[in-house]
């Protein structure tokens, strides 16, 4: 929004100062990314800018660390584990979280606030406490150091994000549409699949994306529960930092940043689509 011509000197100072402050905060937040991305193309096995890189000499840049991801069996194994665990956890978290949000949205649901607080507690409780509790619980039932155990743990961490996004979408949903479908003879499951789900689908997909990112980037629970065969990308990055520092970690981090940007872009697109469906945006 442009500053009006009749603005006072104080308003003009605030107008410029506020934007400078926002730009400084934005730069502070993305500064680590601005460092990681060029360093991932370092031709030398260092975590610092070489003289050739600073001089923008092509000799100082290389894609060798990205090739190392493809050629290294441990990284490939970690990528497969992350995709498997993330996809399964996302599917379960999305299904359970959507059902929970639908139940919590019902006026007939007793103790809604209490149940909501319990369901979203995994995103409030410090992750180290959740990881410790999950480790002892899954160890007692023989699911520690198994893919199923990690999937269930990541499902518990992802459900709160699905509940919050779907509940926010349901806040703008007109329940008379469902009642109209039921009055016309549609069974409850058909009314949900044909009427409710298409309208709340942007919120469901947004929650699924958040659940996937939560699982894909999670490292603390994996440190407690995963063995060598269950290593995910964050666990492999952690091991690489401790055991053998290599710029391959920076290359993987850059790929994860690209994936995160793509997912956030998708979430924003879905949010705007949901606003258009509700009539909030022309």
Strands (E), 126-233: none
Can you give the pTM of this predicted structure? 0.81
pLDDT band per the 50, 70, 90 thresholds, residue 81: very high
Asked if the model's pLDDT at residue 282 lies above 60, the reply is no
Contact yes or no for 165/121 (Cβ under 8 A): no
**261 shares a domain with 132:** yes
Which of 225, 219, 228 has its CA nearest to residue 152? 225
- Structural domain includes residue 210: yes
**146 shares a domain with 29:** no
193: tokens are 């699949």
Mean pLDDT of the residues in the chain: 85
**195 shares a domain with 162:** yes
**272 shares a domain with 149:** yes
Asked if the model's pLDDT at residue 94 lies above 90, the reply is yes
User: What is the CA angle 95-252-58, rounded to 5?
Assistant: 145
Rounded Cα distance, 55 and 46, in Å: 16
**174 shares a domain with 52:** no
- Structural domain includes residue 1: no
**210 shares a domain with 136:** yes
Give the pLDDT mean for 203-222.
89
Which of 156, 163, 148, 151 has its CA nearest to residue 86? 151
Residue pointed to by tokens 């981090």:
253
Rounded Cα distance, 100 and 198, in Å: 18
- Structural domain includes residue 18: yes
**203 shares a domain with 235:** yes
pLDDT, residue 86, reads 92
Residue-wise pLDDT for 95-105, tens only, equals 999 999 988 88
**265 shares a domain with 229:** yes
**246 shares a domain with 173:** yes
Give the pLDDT mean for 40-63.
84
**22 shares a domain with 137:** no
Range of 52's domain?
A: 9-60
- Structural domain includes residue 190: yes
Assign residue 272 the CATH number of its domain. Answer: 1.10.3720.10
- Structural domain includes residue 2: no
**147 shares a domain with 174:** yes
Rounded Cα distance, 258 and 261, in Å: 5
Rounded Cα distance, 266 and 255, in Å: 17
The size of the chain, in residues, is 282
Strands (E), 195-272: none
pLDDT, residue 113, reads 86
Asked if the model's pLDDT at residue 177 lies above 80, the reply is yes
- How crowded is residue 263: how many other Cβ atoms within 10 Å of its Cβ? 16
pLDDT band per the 50, 70, 90 thresholds, residue 274: low
User: What is the CA angle 90-168-195, rounded to 5?
Assistant: 80
Stretch among 88-92, 208-212, 247-251, 274-278 having the lowest mean pLDDT = 274-278
Alpha-carbon dihedral of residues 46, 49, 54, 58, nearest 10 degrees?
Answer: 30
Give the pLDDT mean for 228-242.
83
**132 shares a domain with 217:** yes
pLDDT, residue 8, reads 78
Total tally of structural domains belonging to the chain: 2
pLDDT band per the 50, 70, 90 thresholds, residue 272: confident
- Structural domain includes residue 66: no
pLDDT band per the 50, 70, 90 thresholds, residue 142: confident
Asked if the model's pLDDT at residue 281 lies above 60, the reply is no
- Structural domain includes residue 160: yes
- Structural domain includes residue 3: no
């Amino acid at each position: 929004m442009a500053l009006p011509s009749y603005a006072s000197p104080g308003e003009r100072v605030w107008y410029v100062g506020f934007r400078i402050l926002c730009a400084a905060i934005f730069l502070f937040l993305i500064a680590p990314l601005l460092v990681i991305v060029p360093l991932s193309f370092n031709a030398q096995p260092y975590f610092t800018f070489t003289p050739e890189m600073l001089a923008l000499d092509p000799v100082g840049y290389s894609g060798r660390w990205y090739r190392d991801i493809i050629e290294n069996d441990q990284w490939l194994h970690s990528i497969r584990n992350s995709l498997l665990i993330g996809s399964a956890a996302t599917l379960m978290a999305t299904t359970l979280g959507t059902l929970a949000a639908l139940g919590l949205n019902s006026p007939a649901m007793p103790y809604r606030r209490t149940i909501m607080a319990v369901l979203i507690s995994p995103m409030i409780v410090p992750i180290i406490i959740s990881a410790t509790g999950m480790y002892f619980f899954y160890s007692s039932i023989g699911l520690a150091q198994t893919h199923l155990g990690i999937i269930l743990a990541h499902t518990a961490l992802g459900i709160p994000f699905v509940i919050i996004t779907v509940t926010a979408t349901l806040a703008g949903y007109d329940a008379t549409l469902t009642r109209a479908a039921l009055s016309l003879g549609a069974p409850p499951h058909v009314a949900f699949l044909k009427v409710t789900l298409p309208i709340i689908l942007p919120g469901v997909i947004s929650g699924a994306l958040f659940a996937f990112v939560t699982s894909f980037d999670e490292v603390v629970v994996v440190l407690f529960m995963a063995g060598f065969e269950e290593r995910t990308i964050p666990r492999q990055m952690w091991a690489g930092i401790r055991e053998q520092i290599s710029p391959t970690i920076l290359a993987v981090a850059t790929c994860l940043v690209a994936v995160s940007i793509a997912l956030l872009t998708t979430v924003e697109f879905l949010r705007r689509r949901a606003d258009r469906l509700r009539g909030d945006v022309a």
